[in-house]
């Protein structure tokens, strides 16, 4: 007869899981004791055996304070070992609950299928190509729907949701004033500083006013405002519409026969297309103010002279081209935001992705459109 404790301590603390091994003829009696908790380390069957090779194993129910899946896993381990070694394993001493759980675990272990969701390179390329085609179709359809809605709006203006539109205008216009003020003022300041250094070398200090004025009005006013609104409003549109989609609000509109584009997209597009030029105009003014401040401080040009010079540099066509661009940018930012929102996945992560891609798409569209405008205006000599 051999008597050995599994743990090194002869009288272990009552909270430890313990296994008492006893050989009795060709039987190895495995007595389970102590508290078995899944969160604690349990004895491993391979360590307990330590190379010995019993012919028959009997699991015995000892003084157990507490047990859970940890004990189940241990018994399962013993059972699997016995199966592979073709050793008789007697579990009759174990309670019913444990035996039932053991059967469940065995069934799971035998029937478990590992689904491989990975794809090979070729099919990945294929799916990506399909995706590009599908997205292109989607965007075209969306733009088409917007055009149809716009025509409908012109025919029946009383059906337009003016209240929503005004609310959006306040959100994307008035509420954006502080950030637009700060950024455009700083842009004006920076441009004035940069050009002042250069102009001074030629004694052409006063032309700082021309540079700042022209660049602000033709380019930076609209562009900076559009970029701010892409981050501020485009993202908000995508998040709002994405959440509405996840909450089945869009579905509710569709089953009522109301086109989501009429109801949700048009007020937002109109709001942005109207407010962005206004904000851009405001940004132009603040940019010029910034330039004026730098000229006064750095170059000692009196504000009145700066203003006269600015007036002579800018004519109405400069302002109008800037505003036309701003309006177009507004439409693009709104389209990107609404499109991404309406096509968002119905989940928290889906809304997050929609927001990100709305901003990215908005910025991309702004830059591409700006380049196109540059070419077109150049062709017409505006």
- Residues of this chain that interact with another protein (CB under 8 A) are 35, 37-42, 65-66, 68-69, 73, 76, 97, 100-101, 104-105, 107-109, 111-115, 117, 345-349
Nearer to another protein, 103 or 137 (CB): 103
Helices (H), the chain: 45-49, 69-85, 96-111, 121-155, 162-172, 177-201, 207-215, 221-229, 235-246, 249-255, 260, 266-294, 303-313, 316-342, 348-380
Nearer to another protein, 64 or 214 (CB): 64
CB 197 to another protein: min, Å: 51
What distance in Å separates the CA atoms of residue 84 and residue 27, rounded to the nearest whole number?
A: 17
Nearer to another protein, 112 or 158 (CB): 112
CB 14 to another protein: min, Å: 10
What distance in Å separates the CA atoms of residue 218 and residue 249, rounded to the nearest whole number?
A: 41
Nearer to another protein, 68 or 315 (CB): 68
Nearer to another protein, 32 or 363 (CB): 32
3 state SS for 45-97: HHHHHCCCCCCEEEEEEEEEEECCHHHHHHHHHHHHHHHHHCCEEECCCCCHH
CB 72 to another protein: min, Å: 8
CB 377 to another protein: min, Å: 47
Nearer to another protein, 101 or 324 (CB): 101
CB 92 to another protein: min, Å: 19
CB 362 to another protein: min, Å: 25
Pairing of strands 17-24, 2-5: antiparallel
CB 129 to another protein: min, Å: 24
CB 53 to another protein: min, Å: 24
What distance in Å separates the CA atoms of residue 320 and residue 377, rounded to the nearest whole number?
A: 11
- Taking alpha carbons only, the member of 366, 285, 286 closest to residue 325 is 366
Nearer to another protein, 110 or 120 (CB): 110
CB 117 to another protein: min, Å: 7
Contacts of 204 by beta carbon, 8 Å cutoff, 6+ apart:
none
- Contact assessment for residue 335 and residue 142, using Cβ atoms and an 8 Å cutoff: yes
Nearer to another protein, 15 or 141 (CB): 15
- DSSP annotation of 139 reads H
- Contact assessment for residue 31 and residue 64, using Cβ atoms and an 8 Å cutoff: no
Nearer to another protein, 73 or 298 (CB): 73
Question: Which helix (H) or strand (E) segment is 22 a member of?
Answer: strand 17-24
- Taking alpha carbons only, the member of 273, 179, 269 closest to residue 224 is 179
Residue 98: half-sphere exposure toward Cβ, Cα within 13 Å: 23
- Contact assessment for residue 341 and residue 354, using Cβ atoms and an 8 Å cutoff: yes
């Amino acid at each position: 007869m051999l008597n050995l404790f599994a743990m090194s301590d002869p009288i272990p603390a009552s909270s430890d899981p313990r296994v008492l091994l006893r050989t009795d003829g060709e039987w190895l009696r495995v007595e389970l004791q102590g508290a078995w908790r899944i969160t604690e380390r349990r004895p491993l069957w391979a360590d307990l055996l330590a190379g010995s090779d019993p012919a028959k194993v009997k699991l015995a129910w000892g003084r157990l304070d507490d047990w859970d899946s940890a004990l189940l896993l241990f018994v399962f381990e013993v059972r699997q070992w016995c199966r592979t070694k073709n050793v008789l394993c007697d579990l009759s001493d174990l309670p019913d609950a444990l035996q039932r759980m053991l059967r469940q675990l065995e069934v799971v272990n035998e029937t478990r299928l590992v689904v491989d969701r990975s794809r090979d390179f070729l099919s990945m390329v294929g799916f990506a190509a399909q995706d590009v085609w599908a997205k292109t179709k989607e965007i075209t359809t969306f733009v088409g729907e917007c055009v149809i809605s716009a025509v409908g709006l012109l025919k029946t203006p009383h059906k337009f949701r003016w209240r929503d539109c005004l609310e959006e205008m306040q959100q994307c216009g008035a509420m954006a004033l502080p950030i637009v003020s700060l950024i455009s003022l700083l842009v004006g300041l920076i441009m004035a500083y940069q050009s002042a250094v250069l102009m001074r070398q030629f004694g052409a200090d006063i032309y700082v006013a021309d540079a700042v004025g022209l660049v602000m009005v033709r380019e930076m006013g609209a562009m900076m405002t559009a970029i701010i609104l892409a981050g501020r409003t485009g993202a908000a549109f995508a998040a709002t519409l994405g959440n509405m989609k996840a909450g089945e609000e869009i579905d509710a509109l569709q089953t009522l026969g109301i086109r989501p584009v009429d109801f949700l997209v048009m007020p937002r597009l109109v709001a942005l297309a109207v407010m962005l030029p206004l904000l851009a105009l405001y940004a132009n003014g603040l940019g010029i103010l910034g330039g004026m401040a730098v000229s006064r401080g750095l170059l000692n040009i009196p504000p009145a002279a700066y203003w006269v010079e600015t007036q002579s540099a800018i004519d109405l066509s400069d302002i109008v081209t800037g505003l036309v661009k701003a309006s177009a940018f507004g439409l693009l930012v709104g389209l990107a935001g609404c499109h991404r929102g309406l096509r968002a996945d119905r989940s928290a992560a889906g809304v997050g992705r929609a927001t990100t891609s709305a901003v990215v798409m908005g910025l991309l569209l702004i830059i591409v459109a700006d380049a196109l405008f540059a070419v077109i205006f150049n062709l017409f000599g505006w």
